[in-house]
Structure 1
Amino acid sequence: MNTSGTIAQASPLHRIREIVPELGGGPRRIAEAILADPLRAGESSITKLAATAETAPATVSRFARKIGYQGYPALRSAIALDNGRTAQSGWERDIGTAITPGDASRDVLDILAGTAARALRDAAAVIDLPLVERAAEAITRAERVHLHGEWADSVSVRELYLRLLRIGVPVWAHDSGPRTLDLVARTLTERDVVLALNRSGKDPEARQLLRAARRVGATTIAVHGSPDSALAKEAALSLYTGVRNGSVWTQHFAGRESDTLMTSLLWLLVAQRRSADPTMRFVDDGTFEGPHGTEDLSEAP
């Protein structure tokens, strides 16, 4: 986990959400009590939180150390600080609550801005950079790169496609059905890279494409919001975006921010590598030598 610098520090609430699936008994009740009422947790004594979670104060201390704090006082201070950030970002309400038709425009804007800021901060703290670097190296050296993402997943995939295309990467984007993906799979070789983006990690077509690519020796990359998903296990390089897949719209919005962060990081790392290699095309400078001379692409996407 990258913990260098204040911006990259994951919030304590994010750390707790990440670890909940691994917990049981008293530790799980502590985590659920904190997540159910972060404001109260930021002010509670260790005995009060233990009583709420129906466990012992010593268990609360061990829980705090388990998620990276020296003890409960340090965890409580971090939660209180996070609550302050939340208020400053316009997060007076739970981001899991749907925005209602009666909300003022300023409230809607504050919720969206706060959601995006939190998502980026949390994602930056947990993205596995060495793994992303390996993915970027594979894309840089690939003979062909195939990208797949459907519906909302296709938004970040489409931008990644355009960015890679502009720096000379032989890349294709596929957002159509299983028949097309089956045809794509038949053309793959061990010199190709296949990247599938699917937040839930449950898309059977994405899994099938990665499985087919793996059979022929192609490098497989999964970008997702579910580390324990079937898709994550199907790929050689499993890139968790740092924000878990959610069940309500504001959580999906947060996830999309982390998707964009991941795909932007990928293409920039690829651009760096291509720029440093004289045998490859340099980073696009905004111009393109077309059949009728130089065209200005400075206003292109």
Structure 2
Amino acid sequence: MNGVDEVSPLELLRSALPGLSGAKLRVAEVIMANPDVVGRSSITWLAEQAGTSAATITRLSTSLGFDGFPELRAALAREHGRDVQAGWEKDIGSAITPDDPADKVLSILAGNQLTAARNAMASVDLEALESVADRIVAAKRVQLFAEWGDAPPAHELYLRLFRIGIPVWFGEGAYFSQVGASLLNEGDVALLVSRSGESPIAAKFVRTARDHGALTAVITGSPDSALAAAVDVAVHTGTGLGNSWTDYFAGRASDTLVGGLLWALVAQRVPDRIYERISEHDFLEPPSAKPARRKAR
């Protein structure tokens, strides 16, 4: 190579474009439009796409400082690989690579979840969570709120509370959160899940709920956040927002664990209500097990 291995081949092409014409310009345009494809294709394919000869491609490659097309193609492939890796690490994280086998991916995710669960066990204020459970049992209305990635654990908590007869509602988005908060009264509960603890919509939800006399609480990974300071009760899960999907997925385990713990604490406080509801509606008896009723004669 002629000292171009550290320089982006696409940058070299951009710089050369004003001086190119004819067949060389067509080749450059094809490369610029599909650098990843060119990086794994033959010189014959590129010649067909540009409507020119292999010799023209070779001359363009050498004019850019490469020994020939194979070296230019390799540089394009390396650059694409670096871009893919950078994008992967920014989104997914560095704990998992695109080439990791499935068993390693499973092991990493399970290990991260185990760490998050341990962090939650060390961080949760049990007295605070029990106080929230007490208020939920006594409330006439419980309003849950979460956005985007925080919504799944909040929605699961909603389903579990609803199942045991708690008057609970769940809303996403600015409109539904404000309507839900405005329906709360003294003695009710407004509970949100927010890993980051930062959200203008959630902050307005909290203000509205407090103005209506409700207890406000947040399950969060950021105990020093604005939302944690704004609510009456902040429950720390032990896992913050993180910088990638892998981090966020790990934190989901702590969010779900704390939500499940809160549900269990509520259920402990209303065991008779649970039994009565199950007995009344025969939830535990499959339809086929019910005795057939005889028609009156």
Q: Which band: TM-score by shorter chain? A: 0.5 to 0.7
CA gap 1:248/1:139 in 2 versus in 1, 3 angstroms: same
* CA distance in structure 1 between the partners assigned to 2:231 and 2:199 by the alignment: 13
Matches within 5 A, 1:7-156: 97-156=94-153
* CA distance in structure 2 between the partners assigned to 1:219 and 1:195 by the alignment: 8
* CA distance in structure 1 between the partners assigned to 2:208 and 2:283 by the alignment: 40
Instruction: Give the Å deviation of 1:284.
Output: 6.3
**Normalised TM-score (structure 1):** 0.61
Check conservation: 2:143, 2:181, Cα contact below 8 A.
no
Letter in 2 for 1:265: L
* CA distance in structure 2 between the partners assigned to 1:111 and 1:141 by the alignment: 42
Matches within 5 A, 1:205-220: 205-220=201-216
Report the equivalent of 1:236.
Answer: 232
Report the equivalent of 1:163.
Answer: 160
* CA distance in structure 1 between the partners assigned to 2:152 and 2:171 by the alignment: 12
Instruction: Give the Å deviation of 1:184.
Output: 2.1
Instruction: Give the Å deviation of 1:297.
Output: 7.5
Aligned length: 195
**Aligned: 1:201 with 2:232:** no
Instruction: Give the Å deviation of 1:127.
Output: 1.0
CA gap 1:196/1:283 in 2 versus in 1, 3 angstroms: farther
* CA distance in structure 2 between the partners assigned to 1:295 and 1:266 by the alignment: 23
Select the residue among 265, 269, 274 that pairs with 1:269. Answer: 265
Q: Which protein has the larger Cα radius of gyration, Structure 1 or Structure 2?
A: 2
User: What secondary structure, in the 3-state scheme, does the structure 2 residue paired with 1:146 have?
Assistant: strand
Check conservation: 1:148, 1:173, Cα contact below 8 A.
yes
User: What secondary structure, in the 3-state scheme, does the structure 1 residue paired with 2:270 have?
Assistant: helix
Matches within 5 A, 1:240-255: 240-255=236-251
CA gap 1:130/1:183 in 2 versus in 1, 3 angstroms: same
Instruction: Give the Å deviation of 1:118.
Output: 1.0
Check conservation: 2:95, 2:108, Cα contact below 8 A.
no
CA gap 1:96/1:271 in 2 versus in 1, 3 angstroms: same
User: What secondary structure, in the 3-state scheme, does the structure 1 residue paired with 2:222 have?
Assistant: coil
Give the ranges of 4+ consecutive aligned residues of structure 1 lying more than 6 Å apart after TM superposition: none
Instruction: Give the Å deviation of 1:99.
Output: 2.0
User: What secondary structure, in the 3-state scheme, does the structure 2 residue paired with 1:188 have?
Assistant: coil
Instruction: Give the Å deviation of 1:239.
Output: 0.7
* CA distance in structure 2 between the partners assigned to 1:170 and 1:230 by the alignment: 28
Check conservation: 2:187, 2:214, Cα contact below 8 A.
yes
* CA distance in structure 1 between the partners assigned to 2:280 and 2:257 by the alignment: 27
* CA distance in structure 2 between the partners assigned to 1:140 and 1:119 by the alignment: 28
Check conservation: 2:182, 2:212, Cα contact below 8 A.
no
1:37-66 Cα shifts (integer Å, max 9, x gaps): xxxxxxxxxxxxxxxxxxxxxxxxxxxxxx
Check conservation: 1:195, 1:222, Cα contact below 8 A.
yes
- 5+ residue gaps, structure 1, are 1-94
* CA distance in structure 2 between the partners assigned to 1:215 and 1:297 by the alignment: 45
| Higher normalized helix content (fraction of residues) | 2
1:197-246 Cα shifts (integer Å, max 9, x gaps): 11111111111111111112101011111111111111101011111221
Letter in 1 for 2:127: P
Letter in 2 for 1:102: D
Check conservation: 2:116, 2:239, Cα contact below 8 A.
yes
* CA distance in structure 1 between the partners assigned to 2:285 and 2:115 by the alignment: 34
RMSD over aligned CA atoms reads 2.0
